[in-house]
Structure 1
Amino acid sequence: MALKIGDIVPNFIAKDTKGEWFESKNIVGRKPLVIYFYPKDNTPGCTTEACSFRDAYEDFKDLGAEVIGISSDSVKSHQKFAKKHQLPFILLSDEDKKLRKLFGVYNRLLGLIPGRVTYVADKNGVIILIFDGLNAQKHIEKALDTVKELVS
């Protein structure tokens, strides 16, 4: 069942780009959070999205928010992707697709392409925005505008 606006971001663990376990409980409920699911490292749309989040990352940080990108790519793939594009935020590997299932992020285009969905949660971990769209650039705009509204 997909998460909805008003739900609390669930607890989860996943490997980050250092190969270490990231536990959501260490960040959820402490600061605004942007969690974005994307289809695949090093594809044109996903690279554009990641680089746009990179370019806006200081704006998110200045607002007290953290950004987390999640795809089913391996830790090794994430390491190369993050290094190549100098991504300063957290990337999590969801190789078994448990996080996609937990959040309710489903495949698109006849089930062939993993979904691109962005969640914004307030400092209490309550989801206040779910943006599901193929246009990668719109995700950053929507997320940043929502975080700005949270802290104003």
Structure 2
Amino acid sequence: MLEVGMKPKDFQLKDAFGKTHKLSDYLGKKVVLYFYPKDNTPGCTTQACSFRDIYQELTNENVVLLGISTDDAMSHKNFIESYNLPFVLLSDPDHEVSSYFGSYGEKNLYGKITIGMKRSTFILNEEGVIEKVFKKASAKTNASAVLTFIKG
């Protein structure tokens, strides 16, 4: 997993509407990258709605919020529309970006070892360097923990 002080390589992924986003597009702003397992599941919905509820506070702090999962564009579009999510959801179908960040791979799910997305969040500063990593982000408290960190 990437750590604090590292500068991730640039990547590009498509959003729910087919637009390509590059990490380098957001230099000059803080970026919150949150990796989550699956659209429209209870934990992921809780987490997304928590980010939705603090979204304006994040944008007031010059923060870009990007959610990343392996779901396709249609799934993301449905998730966004179902819960009025105002932020970008990116599709990583080959889990290349999530694997690079260490957010995809072997995990322990209820005592069983599986392969999949690990709920984790990275906060990058304006120069693109990682300032904070939530390795095992909580669906319930991740958004508030991110906002607390950003506000100092």
User: TM (normalized to structure 1)?
Assistant: 0.91
Q: Distance in 2 between matches of 1:122 and 1:140?
A: 17
Q: Distance in 2 between matches of 1:138 and 1:130?
A: 14
**Runs (5+) with no aligned partner, structure 2:** none
Counterparts of 1:32-43 in structure 2, within 5 Å, are 32-43=30-41
Q: How far 1:138 moved relative to its partner? A: 2.1
Larger relative strand fraction: 2
User: TM (normalized to structure 2)?
Assistant: 0.91
Root-mean-square deviation (CA), in Å? 1.2
**Runs (5+) with no aligned partner, structure 1:** none
Counterparts of 1:1-150 in structure 2, within 5 Å, are 2-27=1-26, 29-107=27-105, 108-109=107-108, 110-133=113-136, 135-149=138-152
Q: Distance in 1 between matches of 2:115 and 2:43?
A: 15
Question: What SS does the corresponding residue of 2:13 show, helix, strand or coil?
Answer: strand
Runs of 4+ in structure 1 deviating by more than 3 angstroms, as ranges, are none
- Report Cα offsets for 1:101-150 as digits up to 9, x if no partner: 1211134221244200000111111111110225212211221111112x
Q: Distance in 2 between matches of 1:137 and 1:30?
A: 29
Whether the 8 Å contact between 1:49 and 1:136 is mirrored in structure 2 is yes
